[in-house]
Amino acid sequence: MYRKRIKKVQKYIKEENLDGFIVSRLVSIRYLCGFSGTSGLLIIRKNSAHFLTDFRYKDQAQKQVEGAAIIITKGEIISELKELTQFHGKNLRYGYETEYLSCNDRQRLQNSLGNVLFLPMLNAVEEFSVVKDESEITLLKKAVDITDVAFERILGYLRPGLREREICAELEYQMICLGSEKPGFETIVASGFRSAMPHGVASDKKISLGDFVTFDFGATYKGYVADLTRTVVIGKATLRQKKIYNIVLRAQLAAIRKVRAGIKAKIVDRAARNVIEKNGYGKYFGHGLGHGIGIYIHSKPSVGPRSTDILKKGMVITIEPGIYLPGWGGVRIEDDVLVTTRGCVVLSKSSKKLLEV
């Protein structure tokens, strides 16, 4: 699996007339060779690949890394690159992930390897992960399953007076107990007026009877991340809460019905946005409908009104419309969806009925 991925990069190197590629983003390193530690560089050339890390990760690298020779550096990694034969020569051209190499490290690379021309490549590695193979889909399904069960468990824990941070801690604990490596991203627990904040990460606010509570969270399983959003009511829902919730749900279902290989992503976004706009809440849905997901929490395709992406079989995307009314509250409903030639498969199984807990 990893060797095939590295070969894709090697093909890219040849096509771009490069001598090699430096991978510094840790999630990209994990995608390409399996290493899950927090320090390393992957150097890929046309016919070889070398993974560099320090002594702390010697055993881990030997157990995890596939498709690349392992080099354990004696000192700081970048400062030792000049010793490698891969960087000996004239007029060498190396690509790198422009968004994930700091300006400082970029300058240090240039200072250490003055004979190398470094060329920024936007999302070069990430592009290879956009369409998932069967093994990736299996891992994603497991991450989604863990997330679904954790949500079911948290429902029995909710009660007025709990702080959002307490609920967040319990939710993440349940995911860990079920097999998650870590939260896939910073967990959102936003209640009452704070549920109108699309990225309202958990605070010290206590939940009260009548509050909407929005959960946006996901498990990580062998590097692959789920992304689920559900909104519930503490106690009995008001007529207004039911109205807003049902508009968002209808919007989400309309978008899901549009998903299939070959369709423009912005058409899927439009399906959801039409429902919300026709009900008079268009200005309260201010973000895109979704994004690609996998080993990267946010990747192509972009599912939004200005997207130029076209959905392909094997992509996994989120569908997450919302309505956010400042000072009152908000609703978002999100599922992870596998694109197929005939439509899609919704991987998330958590109930989308408005739950009164």
- Supply the pLDDT for residue 85: 87
**Ramachandran assignment for 73, one of left (phi > 0), alpha (psi -120 to 50 degrees), beta (any other):** beta
Does residue 112 carry a pLDDT above 90? Answer: no
State which of 129, 162, 196 marks the end of a domain. Answer: 129
Does residue 133 carry a pLDDT above 90? Answer: yes
Does residue 124 carry a pLDDT above 90? Answer: no
* pLDDT tens per residue, range 241-251: 999 999 999 99
State which of 69, 98, 129 marks the end of a domain. Answer: 129
Picking from 247, 249, 225, the residue whose alpha carbon sits closest to that of residue 333 is 249
State which of 129, 144, 178 marks the end of a domain. Answer: 129
As given in the structure block, the two tokens for residue 267 are 């058409």
Close Cβ partners of 257 (under 8 Å, ≥ 6 residues apart) = 271, 343
**In 3-state terms, what secondary structure has residue 339?**
strand
User: What's the whole-number average pLDDT of the chain?
Assistant: 96
For the entire predicted model, the pTM comes to: 0.94
pLDDT band at 100 (very low <50, low <70, confident <90, very high): confident
User: What percentage of the chain reaches a pLDDT higher than 90?
Assistant: 88
Same domain assignment for residues 187 and 171: yes
Does residue 261 carry a pLDDT above 90? Answer: yes
pLDDT band at 347 (very low <50, low <70, confident <90, very high): very high
Residue 356 lies in a domain: no
Does residue 105 carry a pLDDT above 90? Answer: no
Domain count, the chain: 2
pLDDT band at 217 (very low <50, low <70, confident <90, very high): very high
* pLDDT tens per residue, range 42-86: 999 999 999 999 999 999 999 999 999 999 999 889 888 988 888
Which range is least confidently modeled, 98-102, 114-118, 136-140, 220-224? 98-102
Q: Range of 294's domain?
A: 134-346
Residue 185 lies in a domain: yes
* pLDDT tens per residue, range 278-317: 999 999 999 999 999 999 999 999 999 999 999 999 999 9
- Supply the pLDDT for residue 310: 98
* pLDDT tens per residue, range 157-210: 999 999 999 999 999 999 999 999 999 999 999 999 999 999 999 999 999 999
**In 3-state terms, what secondary structure has residue 343?**
coil
pLDDT band at 116 (very low <50, low <70, confident <90, very high): very high
Same domain assignment for residues 15 and 71: yes
Between CA 278 and CA 242, with CA 210 as vertex, the angle to 5 degrees is: 25
Same domain assignment for residues 94 and 212: no
Between CA 194 and CA 206, with CA 200 as vertex, the angle to 5 degrees is: 50
- Supply the pLDDT for residue 19: 95
Same domain assignment for residues 168 and 198: yes
Residue 183 lies in a domain: yes
Residue 355 lies in a domain: no
User: What percentage of the chain reaches a pLDDT higher than 70?
Assistant: 100
